[in-house]
Structure 1
Amino acid sequence: MLKDILIVDGYNVIFAWTHLKKLAHESLEHARMELRDRLLNYGKFKGYEVILVFDGKYTKSGGSVEAITSGFLEVYTEDGETADSFIEREVFLRKGKYTNVYVVTSDGAEQNQILGSGGLRIPARELQNMIRIAKEEERLQYAHEHRRDQFSLRRNEVGGLLSPEVAEKLEKLRRGH
């Protein structure tokens, strides 16, 4: 079964989200780390593969590709290659290998290029909203599972405290014998 893939223009998102933009003014590295963490959780919850792309010109190390976990790549483009050109190439290469190729950017020209390449665009602020909704869904799902586990524990607690003889007598009563 094919998966969806989310290709994210990292700096575009950082400077579109108010919280990350403020954080970036203090430490660009911390803003990148927080975005990575949010995307890791979101991708795992939604079952998406994720490629987080940053322009390499803003880092000391230059170009690199790091597999953070299975299904999550963090890319720093080579000096001279923009995140936009890297993303355009990835959309072209990955089209047909995934159910949907989503690209997160608020760059208007890039959005048009993505649509022309067969990708689907998600504006940076819309991704922020999607992550917020997914986090709430995850919280509700966890609360539901936690309640179910507590219920089954409570239900089984008493049975575990009964002697085998008493449990047998209660079972006979329940059956009407």
Structure 2
Amino acid sequence: MSIKKRELLLVDGYNIIGAWPHLRKLRDIDFEKARTDLIEAMAEYQAVTGREVTIVFDAHMRYGRESKAKQSRIAVIYTKENETADEWIERRAHELVDDRLVTLFVATNDFTEQWVIFGQGALRVPAAELLKDWKQAQQLIDQERSALEQDRSNRKTIDLTPDVWARLEEIRRRK
């Protein structure tokens, strides 16, 4: 019996926001919206790929302990005070290095960080590759949505429960 490995993607949040052109522009106008849009993009990516996604943000404008939350089924981490997202990701990669049931991917454009996590057994995902994969995920979602809408518009029957069908059949036979 083969056990399926869990795939986990750790995303260096502010690094990806700075690397994706549309989020970089948005960040300069509405910082919070850029974060929210990245979370929503990764929720779409997660839904299509099946990879568990964790986005890690530096403790920017936050003080104290690390905080964790779930947003759109995505784990969102704000590091503790004086800890960078890189440090958090490196620590997590080190914790998972011997876990044979996890394939770890790290999305960042930080070249040094890519080599550090690669040395710990994680696979690196440059920002441009993640952007391309997300756009493909969006296209798949749009195609599925269109197919569902098309299917609904082409229906010539109404979904009825078996007892309603039986009652209608009874009425039809009486004629």
TM-score when normalising by structure 2: 0.80
Corresponding position of 2:79? 77
CA 1:62–1:98 in 2, change beyond 3 Å: closer, same or farther?
farther
Per-residue CA distance 1:82-113 (angstroms, 9 max, x = gap)? 11111011112234264421100011111111
Equivalent pairs counted in the alignment come to 164
Q: Is the 8 Å Cα contact of residues 17 and 34 (structure 2) preserved in structure 1?
A: yes
Q: 1:87 aligns with which of 86, 89, 93?
A: 89
Distance 1:33 1:61 in 2: 20
Q: How does 1:95-114 map to 2 (within 5 A)?
A: 95=97, 96=99, 98-114=101-117
Q: Which runs of 5+ in 2 are unaligned?
A: 159-164
Corresponding position of 1:174? none
TM-score when normalising by structure 1: 0.79
Q: Which runs of 5+ in 1 are unaligned?
A: 169-177
Q: Does 1:39 align with 2:19?
A: no
Q: Which has the larger radius of gyration?
A: 1
Distance 1:29 1:45 in 2: 25
Please identify, of 39-48 and 100-109, the stretch whose mean Cα deviation from structure 2 is larger: 39-48
Distance 1:114 1:53 in 2: 15
Q: Does 1:21 align with 2:24?
A: yes
Per-residue CA distance 1:147-177 (angstroms, 9 max, x = gap)? 34444x32x35xx7xx638977xxxxxxxxx
Distance 1:41 1:29 in 2: 19
RMSD: 2.7
1:70: how far off?
8.4
Q: How does 1:75-154 map to 2 (within 5 A)?
A: 75-95=77-97, 96=99, 98-151=101-154, 153-154=155-156
Q: Does 1:164 align with 2:169?
A: yes
SS of the aligned residue for 2:130 comes to helix
Q: Percent identity of the aligned residues?
A: 32
Q: Is the 8 Å Cα contact of residues 17 and 124 (structure 1) preserved in structure 2?
A: yes
CA 1:67–1:128 in 2, change beyond 3 Å: closer, same or farther?
same
Corresponding position of 2:54? 51
SS of the aligned residue for 2:10 comes to strand
Q: Is the 8 Å Cα contact of residues 5 and 98 (structure 1) preserved in structure 2?
A: no
1:141: how far off?
2.0
Higher helix proportion (structure 1 or 2)? 1
Q: Is the 8 Å Cα contact of residues 39 and 72 (structure 2) preserved in structure 1?
A: no
CA 1:78–1:121 in 2, change beyond 3 Å: closer, same or farther?
same
